[in-house]
Amino acid sequence: MTYTLGQLKKRLHASIHAYGVTDVRDAVNRAVENLAGLNGWECLRRVVRIITVGPGFTLPQGSAGLVRVCVNGRPLTVRGQDFRFVHSGPGDIDMSRPPDGFTPVPMRNVVDMGFKPVIVEPERPFRLFAISDSEAPQPPLRVTVTRTDGRVAGFDLSVYSKAKYDALHNLVSGCEPEDAVPDDTQAQVVDDIVISDSCDDYLTLYAEDVSTGERFPIAVYHPEVKNPQFRRYSIMGADPRAPVDVLAEVRIDPLPLVRDSDALPFEGIDPVEWMINYNWCMKAGEVDKADKFKAQAVQWLKSCEVANDSVQTQVIVNGVYQNSMGELSEEAFNI
């Protein structure tokens, strides 16, 4: 059974103050973060579908990285960043349109491109502005960019409030994206984003193309992730003009629970309470006792995964390839 943050607060309220905790939400979020880092839990994997154009795509916030991927219905291999630099490797040449003398590379690999502070990277110089989902004023964003002249610039980007209308649909406060005034800084690349500690709602970062004036969102930020990063990948050999359908299994990096309706990524409450005990014992210097609480939480989650993996039939992988055992199995199909 999956619980919400509100349910955890009620269940833990009576005992949690005995562990020196004054804020239940912060204690729960820290416990979840500790549990997520202990193992590659199957419960922290999600299957997502991404529709994009061209070779590059970005995982949504809260996703740590790819586990498996299918592109246009075909399973591909996920490669690390070092794959681009191996001897005689693919490098960064666009193999959908190779130069003279180069041989096209089949679309077989998805290459890790590292982390970026935005989901979409504008191709031409741009200016920035931000709008929050809240109608209340929000503190500015701290933005670091590389300007068009090559210099690195840091500045505070004012955040507009969400547009609010009265019963006659007259604008009362805030603004729409088309009415916002962007910052004067002309940027080529967004290097870093820092969200203020007093921010309490989602923020959307927009870019305005300097040449055309076109405006489009380039990132959405969770208020509790103060230095947001998004994982980017590139599909080797994909046509930059063609649509791409990506079916991916991703590892989840749990976002902090903010609202009482936010769901816990794990089943059950006991592992969270044991990890809260673990943190309290570590602060008190009782390392052996803390290790027992941690081991108990890990064992509980492992047992839960074993129970969830129990199925009626076995899955047998026996690929039918030439000269393989699978080829013999296919010949003996009717025996």
Q: What is the pLDDT along the chain (335 residues), one digit of tens a residue?
A: 788 988 888 888 776 666 667 788 888 888 888 888 888 788 888 899 998 887 889 998 888 899 999 988 888 888 887 777 766 555 655 555 666 665 555 557 888 888 999 999 998 999 999 999 988 889 999 999 999 899 999 999 999 998 888 777 778 788 889 999 999 999 999 999 999 999 988 999 999 999 999 999 999 999 989 999 999 998 887 777 888 899 999 998 888 888 888 888 888 888 888 988 888 888 888 999 999 999 999 988 888 877 777 665 655 555 555 555 555 555 554 44
Do the domain assignments include residue 323? no
Clarify whether residues 140 and 220 are in a common domain: yes
**Helical spans, DSSP H, in the chain:** 5-16, 24-36, 270-283, 287-309, 325-331
Residue 185 one-letter amino acid: T
The pLDDT assigned to 204 comes to 95
**Could you identify the residue written with the tokens 């505070």?**
156
Q: Are residues 59 and 15 in the same domain?
A: no
Q: Decide: 300 and 311 in contact? Cβ < 8 Å.
A: no
Beta bridge pairs of residue 51: 245
Kindly state whether residue 325 falls inside one of the protein's structural domains.
no
Contact of 196 with 139, CB cutoff 8 Å: yes
- Using CA atoms, how far apart are residues 122 and 135, in angstroms rounded to an integer? 28
Residue 328 domain flag? no
**pLDDT score, position 207:** 96
Pairing of strands 74-79, 109-116: parallel
- Does 10 map to a domain? yes
Same domain, 87 and 130: no
- Clarify whether residues 70 and 217 are in a common domain: no
Report whether 252 contacts 59 (CB < 8 A).
Answer: no
Q: Strand, coil or helix: what is 47?
A: strand
What is the total count of domains within the chain? Answer: 3
**Which residues face 195 on adjacent strands?**
none
Same domain assignment for residues 99 and 236? yes
| In a domain? residue 329 | no
Task: Provide the pLDDT for residue 222.
Answer: 92
How far apart CA 208 and CA 177 sit, in angstroms, is 10
**Residues 106, 231: contact at Cβ < 8 Å?**
no
Cα gap 258→260, rounded to integer Å: 7
> Does 319 fall in a domain?
no
Give yes or no: residues 175 and 103 share one domain.
no
Query: Are 31 and 47 in the same domain?
Result: no
pLDDT at 44: 86
- Residue 296 confidence (pLDDT): 92
Read out DSSP for 180-215? ----S--EEEEEEEE--TT--S-EEEEEEETTT--E
- The CA-CA-CA angle for residues 43, 44, 49, to 5°, reads 105
Q: Which domain holds residue 218?
A: 126-228
